Amino acid sequence: MAATPRRIIHLDMDAFYASVEQRDDPALRGRPVAVGGSPESRGVVAASSYEARAFGVRSAMPMARALRLCPQLVVVPPDFARYRAVSQQVMAILRSATPLVEPLSLDEAYLDVTENLWREPLARDVALRLKARIRDETALSCSAGVAPNKFLAKIASGWRKPDGLTVIAPERVESFLQQLPVEALWGVGPVTARKLRAIGIERLVEVRVADRVALSRAVGSLAEWLARLSHGDDPRPVEPHRPWKSISGETTYAQDLDDLGEMRAELERLAYRVAASLGKKNLLARGVTIKVRYADFTTVTRSHTEAAPTGEPAAIAARALALLERTDAARRQVRLLGVGVHGLAGDDERPPAEEWLPFGD
């Protein structure tokens, strides 16, 4: 007898930080809002309202660029204590339906409602009840995706934002997959998407019939996982207590970098993006690592760890730049740069005397 398909919900708060600010300050409602740091101190957008997104303002974007795209943008410094309090409300609502809740950040989570405390036979009805309770108790909206696994539920939750609900029943999985571009695959960003298109893969389902040797050359060890996802197969369970071990970001450049000043600017940009991700996950980091891949594909890493954890972007960037001095970047062309943080800790481990100024504010 075939196993009963799981019922997975991915729930994502809509423009969470910006929506909290607009909820709490009526003067911000209907206006383009960006939560993040000051442009004068290389601040990064942590979240943007839907009014701001209409101008192309997106999270992880430098605030200075956001203001060029939208001169009327209202920049609001982040208040993580307030966002954390609202997040705790939301997570408590989710756990009233099932103990199998896996938070991904302050504003999104997976739930396994195959068996649930409300005894609802349909995951769609669980999602509707959760959305209604969140709106009633927090005055905020969220979007939900319902599917047989995490991969599909995550895609579904973003299908009809904001305030959306998309259900992918097991019998609809194949028709849904047929609609998707290759970027929908987990782990495929712009760089990997370009590599896949270079070997003729435009749509998700085309990965299934791709030449395995060419696919492995293009994406390396990711090939087997992408092939599995292209069939809609994702066996990962919802893990209620999954700890974060590290956060990183990297960029491969179309043309090798040979100017040290440009390398430093790129490394700083990556450091601020990683710091923004730390803030969103309510985490601090003790360690900073950089990755440098030279033009001949030789790759080196450098790392530094301190006893006191930090989430301050300027401190993370300064440590990354100091690590760059311990490489041959000044004398060799570089094709990839990366910044990562490790030794992660919750915000409650911050030394009380330290002033935390997220996103360069």
Which residues are annotated as catalytic?
108
Q: What is the rounded CA–CA span in Å between residue 353 and residue 358? A: 16
Q: Residue written as tokens 């060029």?
A: 68
Quick count: other Cβ atoms within 10 Å of Cβ 301?
Answer: 13
Q: What is the rounded CA–CA span in Å between residue 97 and residue 129? A: 9
Write out the H or E segment, with its range, that includes residue 64. helix 63-69
Q: Is the dihedral of CA 177, 141, 70, 265 positive or negative?
A: negative
HSE, CB side, 13 Å, CA atoms: give it for residue 196.
27
Q: Residue written as tokens 């909290």?
A: 20
Residues 113 and 98: beta-carbon distance below 8 Å: yes
DSSP string across 232-247: T---PPP-TTPPP-EE
Nearest to 208 by CA among 188, 185, 189, 187: 185
Q: At what angle do helices 212-219 and 190-198 cross, to 10 degrees?
A: 150
Quick count: other Cβ atoms within 10 Å of Cβ 15?
Answer: 25
Nearest to 288 by CA among 299, 298, 272: 272
Nearest to 55 by CA among 27, 31, 22: 31
DSSP string across 152-218: HHHHHHTTT-SS-EEE--GGGHHHHHTT-BGGGSTT--HHHHHHHHHTT--BGGGGGGS-HHHHHHH
Q: What is the rounded CA–CA span in Å between residue 314 and residue 356? A: 11
Measuring CA to CA, how many Å separate 136 from each of 228, 279, 340? 39, 27, 39
